[in-house]
Structure 1
Amino acid sequence: MAVSPHEPPPAPTTRDRGAELRALLSWRRILNRLRAVLRSGLVTFVVLTATLWLMPGVASADIVDTLGLVLLVAGVGAVLRPLLLVGVVALGGWGAMLLGVIVQIVVIVVALEIDPANRISGLPTLVVAAILAVIFAAILDWMLDSGTDDTFVKEAKRLMRGVRRRSARQAGGPFLTLRRPRPGTEPGLLMIQFDGLSEPVLRWAVRAGNLPTLGHWLRSGSHTMRGWHTGLPSTTPASQAGILHGATRQIPGFRWYEKETGKLIVSTRPRDAAMIEPRLSDGRGLLRDGGVSIGNAFSGDAVVNLLTVSHAALPGRSARGWAAFMASPYGFTRALVLGVGEVITELHQARLQRRRNLLPRVSRSGAFLALRPASMLLRDVNISLIAEQMARGAPSIYCDLVDYDEVAHHAGPARPESMRQLESLDRMLGVLERLASEAARRYHIVVLSDHGQSQGATFRQRYGETLDELVERLCAGSPPMVVSSGNLSLLYLTEFRHRLTRAEIDRAHPRLIPGLAAHPGVGLVVVRDEDGPVVFGTSGVHRLRDNTVEGVDPLLPYGPHARADLLRHQESAHVGDLVLISCVDPVTEEVAAFEELVGSHGGLGGWQTEAVLVHPARWPVARPELDGPDAVHFQLVDWLDMLGLRTRSLVADAEAAALEDEPRLSRTRDG
């Protein structure tokens, strides 16, 4: 019988307790624990031997003495790590991150300090030795795992069992609670977003056999894959505004200018995201009924927000997944060490592109060198946070994983470096599958993306000047604001406080619209006219409202959705006086990004508007064609409703809202 999430679980019987004890003392569990202890001891022995050998002035590296030191490290770790973990949990946020690294070093320093052989003395030398030992341990553990995630999974399962034990004690249950969820447990929904992944790229990777987890789901028939159209703008904040809140039209681009306040808004800047969210939220978001938001731009009205940009805070004291990851030797410290390897890998891959003269390409130095290890660290943190919430039994979880998107921007969406990141994300799905046995619910998994990416040489690379420089030339030094998102640009004439029409722009800057439309790098110039929005191209004009075309239709290279996308975008809040879309090659579908990115998204053209949704095959789909993030939102809500995870359906909400509005409308009609 299923247990309602709103009622306390039934008290365990004597038979239950006996089963739990037998499970705890089973030979398999004992052997697994012995194997883990032996591996830990071997790693510690090798690491300490290497560290002592490298340290100058060490009197001896006797094997017996080193074995004794291994026992000391184990003993000190058994005493100090739980105490330090309490401190990590208490600090939360940045404190957890800093103390998490210190935990590993302190254990080694204390063990070396009390070592009877007294081979290393002096605090500075002890600290250096401890840091070396921690680095060697991280590298050796990675080598022993042979690229697998076994150790990560074991640590995550240990965390989940601890969360379940604490939850049982808080609920008044016995201290020993290791019972796994029964088949009748209430379902939950886990939604994993692969940021920036287009449906064609995913389909190709599955067919190539490079994604064993997703490939198995699709080939076995447990899941099915369908594409969905993102519309304009094809950016993460706009898509998540739709997916999480059903409010895409509040966001006209990744960045935009608000004439009323004179502010440039960057939607991934925490203070701006916090300002935007009230515009999106009506209290009926995707995650409103006890859901959890992890690593997203907005909350979806979640009860728990972890690394959500609009909430602008690191996880606090209540998030043991954050603290456990930071304090574990297989967590933050390992990620830092392996992150150095990612930087070296990035430098090598960028050099290969240059040597082979691979085009198009952009610079992969500077801030991007820090982004690669940071995205890997964030991925592991996010999976740890998901594991904790699965153990707590959160009814719905939505998490954004950004690894692929970050690399594809600089390497190209289908290049080997990007495929490597996609393969690592597929491994994370396998990790979540393996963690399901420790979850408090029977979780269904949905995988989706928020947009795709389109490749191409940038506008500056092709034409020798940036779009800003072109606009400045055409406006003769007047103050326009050019705000770009991939191959989408919003142009604002800032000397005016309102959105301008075509006639007003022509009077102020007669060369601007004709000059932009004639440029080979600008495919579309959209402006508001007296009878609605008009699109200018190099050889024709398309009036969007009545769908009339003069000359060659400029929308032809942008696909069948272009007219509807542009009409919908023109209704967005704070859209520019002019909306520009770069040219697109009709053969290769390459675009000319207005930013220095070889893989870009934000506008139209290529695969950037072709997102993907992978879901259980037997689930009903109310809308055969998912057009826009808002449509995905309603589909996900339907599934939550089907699983019994919505306290009230959106239909009921809409009816209630209509009833609330009726007295006000009646009063209006009555005068």
Structure 2
Amino acid sequence: MWAVSTVTMLVLAGVLPDFQLESSNGDSATRIAVTAGVGAAVFGLLSSLVWPLLVRALLLVPALVLGLLVFFLNGSLLLIALRINPSGQGEAAPETAVVVAAVMSAVASATGGALAVRDDDAYRRRLYRLADRRRRRGDGQAWPSTPGAVFLQLDGVGHDVLEEAVAKGLMPTVAQWLEGPGEGGCPTHRLTPWRTDWSSQTGASQLGILHGSNHDVPAFRWYEKDTHEVMVCNRPSSAAELQRRAIEYTGDGGLLTVDGASRGNLFSGGADQLALVLSMAARRGRENRSRSGYFAYFSDPANAVRTAMSFVAEVLREMGQSTWARMKKRRPRVKRGGLYPFVRAFATVVERDVVVAAVIGDMLAGRNAVYADLVAYDEVAHHSGPRGRDAEKVLERLDRSLALVAKVAEHAPRPYRIVVLSDHGQSPGETFLTRYGLSLGNLVRAGCGLPVPRRAQRTHSGTEARAAVRAALRRPVEERGERHRPSRRSEPVVLASGNLGLVSFPDVPHRMSREEIDRRHPALLSTLANHPGVGFVLVRSEEYGGLVLGANGAEVPVDKLDDARPGPLADFGPGAADAVRRTHSFPHVADIMVNSAYDPKEGEVLAFEEQIGSHGGLGGAQARPFLLSPVALSVPVEDDADLVGAEQVHRVLRRWLRECDGPQVPLAAPADERAA
């Protein structure tokens, strides 16, 4: 590596006019080579010894700002290396030093990786050294021989999308797990679909998976009348409150309470080791560990160089793909300009690299349970479609990340069971606004007899990646910074969560009944239920309790709905009645719950947000995620049973932790027992 760095410095001195390794009077080739060798050695030592101290001193700097500072600090180290070079011949302009340092770091990283890959013993020794650095067992005890568990969440990847990707050869690692290594090999993993709750989005699913309860999470965002606040699952303050409520409701800390690590998630799961966890992002000061994964990752300047180059490439790739989609006039399509190319690059490059590096560190440290969320596919599919070529490319890169984690597991100090799962899928379809020329909010205003703006306003779209970017920049993740109070208290608050809409009347302290709504706005419910873009509406009735309204005057109490008699829910598949009935029981359910129409033949919904791949309500692939588990673990459910709801997935994962014979993680009480 020293030799390669020396050669790199000589080459750069030959091609960059502001970078010199010889005096103005000229030097011999031997002296120039010695100058380069000493400079490369000093720069390497400074990078190894001083760089981690610089990163630690910058813990209060926003994480992504640190990623940019890496280049300037790295260039400063090179200038110091040239200044203290015994030959005294090195010289470089400051801007040139940044370029030289970046190239040398990238070359050194590539060289070290190539040398390690060519020698399995060297690679194994390097991994063990890293593991020893991360956790030195001072008590002299041996590493646990029992398996640990790594749960990798591929955000937004539906069961059917995964099967199609495997069939197309896009995910060879997953294919090998399902088909077995070699000819006639036995599968190492099994693939199981599961069904989400009505709120098919990360906030509800991940809260249920990690903390065993998503009670009273009716959507991605909803209005709470008792506090006059809008809860948003990807807002740090809301995520922290939802986590607190779940822990209070279950009386249990979460899935990861015993030697666990939570990486890139909305919630901690009770883990002690945290990085990029949104519910912790509201904390300030040095004790905030929610962004510690960035600092651990960028403590190696080569990581920053590699990630920065991939980041720029991804921004350019998105711009090219978006331009091509406009030229081809593809439909459906949403706007992909503004900051979106950078948000996408963050999700598909920065977040992926940092989270995977953190997971590898946890495995090398021998942790008992690790849960990590990779949001890359979800972000791209929202704007390019769940089955678009852009999204398929992301699946290919995610598969390579799975392969890397599997490779590291072979060298970890204890065996690991790798479980891959998703929190929801995505359903395609154009937006409600594109199809009908008005938003759900304006349709509600029309039904209430309120003035409708002439110009349709597009609904704000919140995604996990966008919230993670804002948290990394230490900007509050608030939607326009409001407490969401309308200009007039009699006006409704209309919120969107994918193809699920929520209508609340803030001047009424309780959940309004159908009868109260009809007295105030006689045309509103019929306007919504009979609109061709609406599948069904849920309201509270003073006579029947929960009441589902459909087109052509259909009205069915929720207690009388089931799979045999679905009523207005017929198009939404099995389990729809149970999902609606459960949400109706939540304390903070909206006055009116609106689910968009669903086309079973095309599998399409109509998003109330600006997304052509959406999730949040009922209808299609969004409610059908997957669970990919090792065959060494017990089957998730019996053959004739369905895996339904995030809370049941939580119980399955806890059972698997117990089967690993590691530290005993008690099972949380079922929901019906807690209610009793």
| TM-score, with length taken from structure 2 | 0.82
Partner of 1:426: 399
Structure 1 residue 559: Cα displacement: 1.1
Structure 1 residue 103: Cα displacement: 4.2
Structure 1 residue 58: Cα displacement: 11
| Equivalent position to 1:290, from 259, 265, 276 | 259
SS of residue paired to 2:494: strand
| Equivalent position to 1:218, from 169, 173, 178 | 178
| Equivalent position to 2:377, from 386, 404, 413 | 404
Alignment of 1:461-540 (within 5 A): 461-477=434-450, 478-529=490-541, 530-539=543-552, 540=554
CA contact (8 A) 2:134 2:365 kept: no
CA contact (8 A) 2:427 2:622 kept: yes
Structure 1 residue 156: Cα displacement: 11
Taking the aligned partners of 1:303 and 1:418, their CA distance within structure 2 comes to 33
Query: Cα distance 1:433–1:609, how it changes in 2: closer, same or farther (>3 A)?
Result: same
Structure 1 residue 586: Cα displacement: 2.7
Alignment of 1:333-412 (within 5 A): 333-375=305-347, 376-412=349-385
Letter in 2 for 1:390: M
| Equivalent position to 1:635, from 619, 640, 652 | 652
Taking the aligned partners of 2:216 and 2:492, their CA distance within structure 1 comes to 22
Partner of 2:422: 449
CA deviation profile, 1:467-513 (whole Å, cap 9, x unmatched): 11111121123410111110011110112111011101111111110
Partner of 1:255: 221
Structure 1 residue 190: Cα displacement: 0.5
Partner of 1:272: 238
CA deviation profile, 1:226-248 (whole Å, cap 9, x unmatched): 11101210010100111011112
Taking the aligned partners of 1:444 and 1:279, their CA distance within structure 2 comes to 30
Structure 1 residue 83: Cα displacement: 2.4
Taking the aligned partners of 1:256 and 1:45, their CA distance within structure 2 comes to 61
Partner of 2:661: 644
| Equivalent position to 1:94, from 40, 46, 61 | 61
Query: Cα distance 1:75–1:466, how it changes in 2: closer, same or farther (>3 A)?
Result: same
Residue 107 (str. 1) matches residue 77 (str. 2): yes
| Equivalent position to 2:97, from 104, 121, 130 | 130
Taking the aligned partners of 2:57 and 2:410, their CA distance within structure 1 comes to 29
Structure 1 residue 75: Cα displacement: 2.2
Residue 619 (str. 1) matches residue 633 (str. 2): yes
CA deviation profile, 1:334-393 (whole Å, cap 9, x unmatched): 212321111110000001111111111111112311212211111111112112221222
Letter in 1 for 2:379: E
CA deviation profile, 1:38-95 (whole Å, cap 9, x unmatched): 554454544454444799x997899763673254133232145312313424554637
Letter in 2 for 1:198: G
Query: Cα distance 1:650–1:435, how it changes in 2: closer, same or farther (>3 A)?
Result: same
Residue 187 (str. 1) matches residue 147 (str. 2): yes
| Equivalent position to 2:275, from 281, 284, 306 | 306
Letter in 1 for 2:492: P
Alignment of 1:48-197 (within 5 A): 48-52=13-17, 65=32, 68-89=35-56, 91-92=58-59, 94=61, 98=66, 100-114=70-84, 116=87, 118=89, 120=91, 125-126=93-94, 128-136=95-103, 158=126, 161-165=129-133, 167-168=135-136, 170-171=138-139, 185-197=145-157
Structure 1 residue 431: Cα displacement: 0.9
SS of residue paired to 1:168: coil
Structure 1 residue 522: Cα displacement: 1.3
Taking the aligned partners of 1:604 and 1:141, their CA distance within structure 2 comes to 51
Structure 1 residue 622: Cα displacement: 5.2
Alignment of 1:34-49 (within 5 A): 36-49=1-14
Partner of 2:464: none
CA deviation profile, 1:168-219 (whole Å, cap 9, x unmatched): 374469xxxxx9x7xx822100000000000000001111111111111111
Query: Cα distance 1:168–1:275, how it changes in 2: closer, same or farther (>3 A)?
Result: closer
Taking the aligned partners of 1:634 and 1:393, their CA distance within structure 2 comes to 23
Structure 1 residue 114: Cα displacement: 4.6
Letter in 1 for 2:599: D
CA contact (8 A) 1:159 1:324 kept: no
CA contact (8 A) 2:2 2:37 kept: no
Partner of 1:559: 573
SS of residue paired to 1:338: helix
CA deviation profile, 1:428-464 (whole Å, cap 9, x unmatched): 1111122124423211100000000011110111111
Range that drifts further, 627-636 or 540-549: 540-549
Range that drifts further, 470-479 or 157-166: 157-166
Partner of 1:21: none
Letter in 1 for 2:569: L
SS of residue paired to 1:506: helix
Letter in 1 for 2:150: L
Taking the aligned partners of 1:639 and 1:279, their CA distance within structure 2 comes to 25
Taking the aligned partners of 1:331 and 1:429, their CA distance within structure 2 comes to 19
CA contact (8 A) 1:296 1:399 kept: yes
Query: Cα distance 1:37–1:571, how it changes in 2: closer, same or farther (>3 A)?
Result: farther
Residue 603 (str. 1) matches residue 617 (str. 2): yes
Range that drifts further, 491-500 or 619-628: 619-628
| TM-score, with length taken from structure 1 | 0.83
Partner of 1:5: none
CA deviation profile, 1:523-574 (whole Å, cap 9, x unmatched): 111111121222222233333211299x993212211221111111212231
Percent identity over the alignment is 35
CA contact (8 A) 1:88 1:96 kept: no
CA contact (8 A) 2:9 2:104 kept: yes
Report the aligned-residue RMSD.
3.5
Letter in 1 for 2:595: I
Letter in 1 for 2:192: R
Q: Point out where structure 1 has 5 or more consecutive residues left out of the alignment.
A: 1-35, 174-178, 666-671
Query: Cα distance 1:490–1:87, how it changes in 2: closer, same or farther (>3 A)?
Result: same
Query: Cα distance 1:439–1:119, how it changes in 2: closer, same or farther (>3 A)?
Result: closer
Range that drifts further, 140-149 or 384-393: 140-149
Taking the aligned partners of 2:373 and 2:505, their CA distance within structure 1 comes to 35
Partner of 1:3: none
Structure 1 residue 132: Cα displacement: 2.0
Taking the aligned partners of 2:19 and 2:134, their CA distance within structure 1 comes to 43
Query: Cα distance 1:144–1:369, how it changes in 2: closer, same or farther (>3 A)?
Result: farther
CA contact (8 A) 1:234 1:609 kept: yes
Letter in 2 for 1:381: V
Partner of 2:159: 199
Partner of 2:458: none
Structure 1 residue 605: Cα displacement: 1.0
Letter in 1 for 2:362: Q
CA contact (8 A) 2:494 2:502 kept: yes
Taking the aligned partners of 1:320 and 1:474, their CA distance within structure 2 comes to 49
Taking the aligned partners of 1:147 and 1:600, their CA distance within structure 2 comes to 41
SS of residue paired to 2:539: strand
Letter in 1 for 2:276: L
Taking the aligned partners of 2:27 and 2:491, their CA distance within structure 1 comes to 71
Q: How many residues align?
A: 609
Structure 1 residue 109: Cα displacement: 2.1
CA contact (8 A) 1:237 1:267 kept: yes
Query: Cα distance 1:103–1:444, how it changes in 2: closer, same or farther (>3 A)?
Result: farther
Letter in 2 for 1:105: G
